[in-house]
């Protein structure tokens, strides 16, 4: 297990290194930030001075070298716009995004698993078919469109919930979270549902397929032959087996949730790091974009690692084979 | 295996639609039965009502998009025909030379119905062409990887794994931030984020096909490698490819509209449906719902129709589910 | 004479499929007394497993019990609501299945799976149930049962898993145990051990045993009586010794002929030509007629009815091979 863990961490570091290079290369090609920051009437000497201050006058490989060296010390550059550490600017917005992603993830499980299990237990019934057809609709709808329609319905027509922004926050363990205030929750709800509806369709599909497959297994038949109640069979025998694929996929989907928060945050003007990314791309704030991408790569790699370990924890078969290997 | 690979397979392009993998390990039927098999697939396809509806809607949408210059009440991008006096008309009002704006007009007095028909053209073109290019590139690399094996295979699959381990939306966003706006650039970005799906799918089925007798026979005949790969191996990996490609068209369209909505997609001069939605977004809160809503409805109808067709194709072409 | 523990009368199970209604089990009748062992023999697709599942009320849609009656200890099971059936399953009637590698839930520990079987039927404490589970494991010959209780199924071999399954099935001392080919997937030596184990346990508790198999040699050493199924019907039934020695139905004779044995060495093994018919496309006459060496004109046109023979035997055949004489009836025939 330890050998496995070390090997996995090694692979993860390699991925981060490769991505760092790609991200740096790609983002380096974006526009000319000097032209944006400088006074339009600035002369060449002033422009050069700005470029030199930002380190943009050096050769690209040297810039990359400096970037890596600084990155290893936790410095991903200084935002051109905010004149602050890029990482700090992003980290400030990280809780908002993570909160959104977690609440959405929770919602998609709460919506998706029960519906998927119901559809999987009765795949040919009207209810089962309806759930599955609706789930096609669920992932057909583009994320931003769902957001717009929710705004139209709940904010514009019904005026039940606010259309944009983040509500009041309270400090929990040094992190500003909004889900513990009523106002914060009301701001969080629409973006979270938008993000969750999208994923819950996926959860429904996996849960349905998983339930169907598990229900056909001999051990479910044996469980029935033992005279167990349907409830015990579904909640213990089926659910525990079915949760394995759900946990795997959902864990990985947390990463994609963070990525998709870019869209949702833009729709709802929610001040998370996704909206910051879009703003920074439009403002050519290169360090922020680089720092965002590096942070995301890092988060993804961590998520992959954690999911694998969780997977081993749920499934004794994996645990055993890993222990042997 | 890369640390990301076992799960990367679960991650779709723009959304989960592709998350239901085609079982690539199930071999398509033997090549000699092609004719009757095709007929059986076609008749089996039409057993599902939702698939028929999806197909009809899809064909109508494609036709509407193709015929847009002839059926649209107005050329929405001929500035001379626009009148600012007609701006923000709600659906049903009269505009221009006494025509009815069934879906209202936008802030520049543009008829939304016309704008949607032209927007549909852009969206469908981007979706279909990016899928086509990505499928050709991905399938070639996939079949090559499977046939060549060894280092070539592990290199290609590593890149595939790496590519698939990051959400398409992020990759496309960064690429477009680098390239700038443009229909061609959107297509390139979509190709970059999609090719890996086809490579993986085709490699999976090619690995199965490779071990079959007819490939062995072709090898014994000392046919040129290229011929074996492209004439014998590739055609037999097509059915799962078709399923993935169909669903991916929907995903590509959705992704394009998202990118355009975020302002990094198609240029203002060639607005897709996503762009139209973005244009109307600002007016949504003031109650002028139609500018965003109708392009959105059109977008959703097209995407759902493609997904219905794709869903049925998966059932029909996957022999494991056929019974 | 006491009433049989398990009595199946004219059981008919149908499945609605795309090709129409298929009758998987058609007019099957048999009964088993306490402590008695009955073999249910047939090829795959003969309906023997479906019959076994029907006894437990485990026929799922699109299948259903279309007609007939199943009584256990005099109580009718057909038509009972699911809730009531749950109380019967595992308590009065238990079942073990063919593949021990898949009958135990891989993500639940053995103790969980055994204790739940007890607690589904009796309000006993977790601790008491655990003790009973441990004793049951010890009884089926599992070493250090205390430790093994907290293990996961994947830590057991196939034979051990089947022992666990048997122990689990017998936890509540059921009146009837249906065993659906439980030894087929195991090594021959393990097979013999499991056979002996089940036989012993059932004899101890007076459990009636229905042993479903395609293997006549298993039946020969284990069962008291046997019913041979073909295409959803019982084509021959009787005491094991009678049936094996002087089969009435050509199909039974064919099955016996295809079992390799010492005294037939050197001679080519007899085979039954052809394949089991598709249930959806049964011929109008005897379903076995197309494969039968003895078939005559009526066999292809008229479906043979169940004909009783002396000695408690019966068969469905127009051209019986050995017709037992009335005086050959045995004393112990029921």
- Any domain includes C291: yes
Q: Treating both helix axes as pointing N-terminal to C-terminal, what angle do C110-119 and C158-169 enclose, rounded to 10 degrees?
A: 20
CB atoms within 10 A of CB C294: 16
> Is the domain of C67 the same as that of C200?
yes
C119 three-state secondary structure: helix
* Nearest CA distance, A26 vs chain B (angstrom): 7
Asked if the model's pLDDT at residue B135 lies above 90, the reply is yes
Phi-psi label, residue A138: left if phi above 0, alpha if psi -120 to 50, beta otherwise: alpha
The beta-carbon neighbor of B258 closest among A18, A206, A263 is A263
Confidence of residue C276 (pLDDT cuts 50, 70, 90): confident
Tokens 């020695």, residue? C245
The CA distances from residue A263 to B124, B177, B296, C264, in Å, are 21, 15, 15, 78
pLDDT at A322: 43
Q: Which long-range contacts (CB under 8 A, 24 or more apart) does A181-187 make?
A: A186/A161, A186/A162, A187/A161, A187/A162, A187/A270
The beta-carbon neighbor of C105 closest among A219, A225, A314 is A219
> Is the domain of C82 the same as that of C230?
yes
CB atoms within 10 A of CB C83: 9
pLDDT digits (tens, 9 = 90+) for C102-157: 888 888 888 889 999 898 888 889 899 999 999 988 888 888 888 888 888 888 88
Give CA–CA dist A44/B113, Å, rounded.
50
> C90, A226: Cβ pair inside 8 Å?
yes
pLDDT at A37: 64
> Is the domain of C21 the same as that of C11?
yes
Using CB atoms, list chains with 3+ pairs below 8 Å to chain C: A
Q: Is A283 touching B (CB cutoff 8 A)?
A: no
- Range scoring the smallest mean pLDDT among A182-196, A300-314, B159-173: A300-314
Task: Please give the helix or strand (H or E) that residue C23 lies within, else none.
Answer: strand C20-32
Asked if the model's pLDDT at residue B321 lies above 50, the reply is no
Query: Higher confidence at residue B66 or residue A307?
Result: B66
Output the six-digit token pair for A197.
């509806």
> Is the domain of C65 the same as that of C137?
no
Q: Is A51 touching B (CB cutoff 8 A)?
A: no
Give CA–CA dist A167/A171, Å, rounded.
13
A-to-C residue pairs, Cβ atoms closer than 8 angstroms: 89
Asked if the model's pLDDT at residue B18 lies above 50, the reply is no
Q: Is B320 touching A (CB cutoff 8 A)?
A: no
Using CB atoms, list chains with 3+ pairs below 8 Å to chain A: B, C
Residues C233 and C287: beta-carbon distance below 8 Å: yes
Cβ contacts of residue C270 below 8 Å, gap of 6+? Answer: C254, C257, C258
- Domains with residue ranges and CATH for chain B: 60-74+91-317 (1.10.3720.10)
> Greatest CA separation found in chain B?
76
> Is the domain of C150 the same as that of C48?
no
* Nearest CA distance, A213 vs chain C (angstrom): 13
- Range scoring the smallest mean pLDDT among A130-139, A190-199, A267-276: A130-139
> C102, A225: Cβ pair inside 8 Å?
no
Interface of B with A in 195-234 (CB under 8 A): none
pLDDT at C329: 45
pLDDT at C333: 43
> A227, C102: Cβ pair inside 8 Å?
no
Asked if the model's pLDDT at residue B32 lies above 80, the reply is no
Asked if the model's pLDDT at residue A319 lies above 60, the reply is no
Confidence of residue B104 (pLDDT cuts 50, 70, 90): confident
Cβ-count burial A172-195 (b if 16+ within 10 Å, e if not): eeeeebbbeeeebbbbbbbbbbbb
Confidence of residue C270 (pLDDT cuts 50, 70, 90): low
> C152, A316: Cβ pair inside 8 Å?
yes
User: Rounded mean pLDDT of B121-137?
Assistant: 93
Question: What residues in chain C have their Cβ under 8 A from chain A's Cβ atoms?
Answer: 56, 58, 61, 82, 86-91, 94-99, 102-108, 112-113, 116-117, 120-121, 152, 154-155, 165, 168-169
Average pLDDT, chain B: 78
pLDDT digits (tens, 9 = 90+) for A251-266: 777 778 888 888 899 8
The backbone torsions φ and ψ at residue A254, rounded to the nearest 5 degrees and listed phi first, read -60, -40
Task: Please give the helix or strand (H or E) that residue C11 lies within, else none.
Answer: strand C6-17
pLDDT at C70: 92
> A320, C154: Cβ pair inside 8 Å?
yes
Among C5-14, C197-206, C290-299, top mean pLDDT goes to C5-14
Using CB atoms, list chains with 3+ pairs below 8 Å to chain B: A
> Is the domain of A215 the same as that of A250?
yes
pLDDT at A261: 87
The Cα angle at residue C101 between residues C96 and C102, in degrees rounded to 5 = 70
Confidence of residue C266 (pLDDT cuts 50, 70, 90): low
* Nearest CA distance, C105 vs chain A (angstrom): 5
pLDDT at A31: 57
CATH number (domain holding residue C214): 3.40.50.300
Average pLDDT, chain C: 85
> Is the domain of C241 the same as that of C315?
yes
Give CA–CA dist B235/B228, Å, rounded.
10
Q: Total domain count for chain C?
A: 2
Query: Higher confidence at residue A5 or residue C106?
Result: C106
The Cα angle at residue C192 between residues C191 and C195, in degrees rounded to 5 = 85
Using only C-alpha atoms, what is the Rg of chain B?
A: 22
> B277, A260: Cβ pair inside 8 Å?
no
Output the six-digit token pair for C266.
């050197």
> A289, B289: Cβ pair inside 8 Å?
no
The beta-carbon neighbor of B284 closest among A139, A151, A249 is A151
> Greatest CA separation found in chain C?
67
Residues A199 and A108: beta-carbon distance below 8 Å: yes
Confidence of residue C311 (pLDDT cuts 50, 70, 90): confident
Q: Is A22 touching B (CB cutoff 8 A)?
A: no
> Is the domain of A67 the same as that of A161?
no
Q: C269, exposed or middle or buried, with CB in 10 Å at 0-12, 13-18, 19+?
A: exposed
The beta-carbon neighbor of B170 closest among A27, A205, A296 is A296
Q: Total domain count for chain A?
A: 2
B105 three-state secondary structure: strand
Asked if the model's pLDDT at residue C61 lies above 70, the reply is yes
pLDDT at B98: 67
Confidence of residue A325 (pLDDT cuts 50, 70, 90): very low
> Is the domain of C25 the same as that of C118?
no
Phi-psi label, residue C14: left if phi above 0, alpha if psi -120 to 50, beta otherwise: beta
Confidence of residue B2 (pLDDT cuts 50, 70, 90): very low
Question: Whole domain around residue C65: which residue ranges?
Answer: 1-92+175-334
CATH number (domain holding residue A157): 1.10.3720.10
Tokens 């290229």, residue? B226
Asked if the model's pLDDT at residue B222 lies above 70, the reply is yes
Asked if the model's pLDDT at residue B303 lies above 60, the reply is yes
What's the pTM?
0.74
> Is the domain of A65 the same as that of A156?
no
Asked if the model's pLDDT at residue B214 lies above 80, the reply is no
Output the six-digit token pair for B27.
């071999």
> A240, C108: Cβ pair inside 8 Å?
yes
User: Rounded mean pLDDT of A152-176?
Assistant: 76
The beta-carbon neighbor of B258 closest among A19, A142, A248 is A142
Tokens 């195991």, residue? C186
> A263, B16: Cβ pair inside 8 Å?
no
> Is the domain of C205 the same as that of C243?
yes
- Any domain includes C245: yes
> Is the domain of C220 the same as that of C332?
yes
Give CA–CA dist C307/C192, Å, rounded.
35
User: Rounded mean pLDDT of A180-201?
Assistant: 83
Give CA–CA dist C194/C200, Å, rounded.
10
CB atoms within 10 A of CB B323: 5
* Nearest CA distance, B3 vs chain A (angstrom): 6
Pairing of strands C6-17, C20-32: antiparallel
Question: Whole domain around residue A271: which residue ranges?
Answer: 87-287
Confidence of residue A64 (pLDDT cuts 50, 70, 90): confident
């Amino acid at each position: 297990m330890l050998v496995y863990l070390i090997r996995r961490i090694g692979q993860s570091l390699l991925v981060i290194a490769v991505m760092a290079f790609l991200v740096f290369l790609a983002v380096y090609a974006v526009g000319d930030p000097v032209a944006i920051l400088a006074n339009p009437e600035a002369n060449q000497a002033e422009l050069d001075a700005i470029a030199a201050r930002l380190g943009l006058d050096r050769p690209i490989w040297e810039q990359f070298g400096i970037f890596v060296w600084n990155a290893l010390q936790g410095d991903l550059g200084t935002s051109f716009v905010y004149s602050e550490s890029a990482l700090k600017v992003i980290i400030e917005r990280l809780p908002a995004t993570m909160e959104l992603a977690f609440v959405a993830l929770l919602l998609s499980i709460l919506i998706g698993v029960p519906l998927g299990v119901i559809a999987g237990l009765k795949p040919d019934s009207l209810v089962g078919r309806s759930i599955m057809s609706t789930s096609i609709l669920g992932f057909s709808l583009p994320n931003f469109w769902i957001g717009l329609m929710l705004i139209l319905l709940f904010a514009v027509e019904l005026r039940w919930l606010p259309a944009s922004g983040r509500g009041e926050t309270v400090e929990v363990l040094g992190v500003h979270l909004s889900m513990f205030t009523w106002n914060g929750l009301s701001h969080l709800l629409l973006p979270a549902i938008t993000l969750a509806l999208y994923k819950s369709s996926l959860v429904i599909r996996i849960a349905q397929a998983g339930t169907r497959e598990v229900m056909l297994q001999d051990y479910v038949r044996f469980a029935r032959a033992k005279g167990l109640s349907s409830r015990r069979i579904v909640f213990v025998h089926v659910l525990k087996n079915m949760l394995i694929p759900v946990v795997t996929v959902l864990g990985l989907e947390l990463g994609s949730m963070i990525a998709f928060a870019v869209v949702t945050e833009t729709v709802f003007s929610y001040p998370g790091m996704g909206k910051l990314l879009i703003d920074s791309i439009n403002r050519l704030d290169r360090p922020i974009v680089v720092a965002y991408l590096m942070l995301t790569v890092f988060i993804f790699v961590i998520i992959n690692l954690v999911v694998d370990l969780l997977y081993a924890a749920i499934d004794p078969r994996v645990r055993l084979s890993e222990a042997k290997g | 295996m890369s640390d990301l690979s076992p799960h990367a397979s679960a991650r779709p392009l723009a959304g989960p639609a592709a998350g239901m993998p085609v079982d690539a390990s199930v071999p398509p039927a033997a090549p000699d039965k092609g004719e009757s098999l095709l007929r059986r697939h076609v008749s089996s396809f039409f057993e599902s009502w939702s698939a028929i509806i999806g197909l009809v809607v899809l064909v109508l949408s494609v036709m509407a998009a193709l015929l847009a210059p002839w059926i649209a009440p107005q050329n929405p991008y001929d500035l001379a025909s626009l009148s600012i006096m007609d701006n923000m008309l709600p659906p049903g009002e009269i505009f221009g030379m006494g025509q009815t704006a069934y879906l209202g007009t936008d802030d520049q007095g543009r008829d939304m119905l016309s704008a949607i028909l032209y927007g549909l053209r852009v969206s469908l073109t981007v979706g279909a062409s990016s899928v086509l290019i990505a499928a050709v590139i991905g399938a070639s690399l996939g079949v090559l990887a499977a046939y060549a094996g060894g280092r070539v295979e592990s290199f290609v699959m590593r890149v595939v794994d790496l590519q698939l381990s990051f959400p398409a939306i992020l990759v496309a966003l960064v690429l477009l931030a680098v390239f700038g706006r443009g229909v061609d650039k959107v297509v390139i970005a979509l190709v970059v984020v999609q090719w890996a799906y086809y490579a993986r799918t085709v490699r999976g089925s090619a690995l199965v096909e490779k071990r079959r007798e007819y490939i062995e026979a072709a090898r014994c005949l000392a046919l040129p490698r290229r011929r074996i790969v492209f004439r014998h191996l590739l055609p037999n990996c097509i059915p799962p490819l078709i399923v993935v490609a169909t669903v991916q068209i929907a995903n590509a369209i959705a992704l394009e509209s998202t990118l355009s909505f975020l302002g990094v997609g198609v240029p203002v001069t060639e607005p897709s449906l996503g762009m139209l939605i973005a244009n109307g977004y600002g007016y949504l809160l003031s109650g002028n719902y139609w500018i965003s809503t109708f392009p959105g409805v059109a977008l959703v109808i097209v995407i759902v129709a493609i997904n219905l067709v794709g869903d049925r194709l998966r059932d029909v072409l996957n022999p494991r589910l056929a019974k | 004479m006491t009433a049989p523990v398990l009595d199946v009368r004219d059981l008919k199970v149908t499945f609605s499929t795309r090709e129409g209604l298929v009758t998987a089990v058609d007019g099957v009748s048999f009964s088993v007394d306490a402590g008695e062992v009955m073999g249910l023999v047939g090829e795959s697709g003969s309906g023997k497993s479906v019959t076994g599942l029907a006894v437990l009320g485990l026929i799922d849609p699109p299948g259903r019990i279309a007609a007939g009656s199943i009584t256990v200890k005099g109580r009718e099971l057909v038509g009972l609501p699911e809730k009531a059936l749950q109380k019967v399953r595992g308590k009065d009637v238990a079942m073990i299945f063919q593949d021990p590698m898949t009958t135990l839930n891989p993500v639940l520990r053995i103790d969980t799976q055994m204790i739940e079987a007890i607690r589904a039927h009796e309000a006993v404490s977790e601790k008491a149930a655990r003790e009973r589970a441990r004793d049951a494991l010890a009884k089926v010959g599992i070493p250090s049962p205390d430790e093994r209780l907290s293990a996961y199924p994947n830590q057991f071999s196939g034979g051990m898993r089947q022992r666990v399954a048997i122990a689990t099935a017998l936890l509540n001392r059921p009146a009837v145990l249906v065993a659906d080919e439980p030894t087929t997937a195991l090594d021959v030596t393990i097979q013999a051990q499991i056979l002996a184990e089940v036989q012993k346990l059932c004899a101890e508790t007076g459990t009636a045993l229905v042993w479903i198999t395609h293997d006549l040699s298993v039946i020969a050493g284990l069962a008291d009586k046997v019913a041979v199924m073909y295409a959803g019907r019982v084509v021959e039934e009787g005491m094991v010794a009678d049936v094996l020695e002087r089969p009435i139905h050509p199909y039974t004779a064919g099955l016996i002929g295809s079992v390799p044995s010492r005294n037939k060495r050197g001679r080519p093994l007899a085979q039954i030509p052809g394949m089991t018919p598709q249930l959806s496309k049964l011929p109008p006459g005897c379903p076995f007629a197309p494969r039968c060496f003895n078939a005559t004109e009526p066999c292809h046109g008229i479906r043979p009815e169940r004909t009783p023979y002396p000695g408690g035997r019966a068969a469905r055949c127009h051209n019986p091979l050995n017709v037992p004489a009335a005086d050959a009836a045995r004393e112990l025939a029921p």
